[in-house]
């Protein structure tokens, strides 16, 4: 995966920990769903390596308006 995705994933983890982070738009365009999914996969792997476990899956876009 692109190094930029790892940076985005790390920034999201920092935000999860309570840190304020700059907007992600500098590294991830709004319609880049592949990049968003890559960041999510990177963070899922990170959290699993830290001892967490996956207990569910995201269903995706289910709202008619979306």
Summarised one tens digit per residue, pLDDT across range 17-43 is 898 888 888 887 778 888 888 988 999
Looking at residue 63, what is its pLDDT? 66
Whole-number Å distance between alpha carbons of 24 and 26: 5
Taking a C-beta distance cutoff of 8 angstroms, is the pair 44, 9 a contact? Answer: no
Contacts 24+ apart (CB under 8 A), 22-29: 28/4
pTM summary value = 0.73
What's residue 3's pLDDT?
67
Q: Encoding tokens for residue 33?
A: 């769903």
Q: How far apart are CA 63 and CA 50, in angstroms?
A: 33
């Amino acid at each position: 995966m692109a190094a930029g995705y790892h940076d985005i994933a790390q920034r999201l983890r920092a935000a999860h920990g309570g840190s304020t982070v700059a907007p992600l738009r500098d590294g991830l365009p709004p319609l880049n769903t592949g990049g968003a999914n890559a960041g999510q996969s990177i963070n899922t792997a990170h959290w699993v390596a830290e001892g967490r476990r996956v207990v569910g899956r995201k269903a995706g876009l289910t709202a008619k308006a979306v």
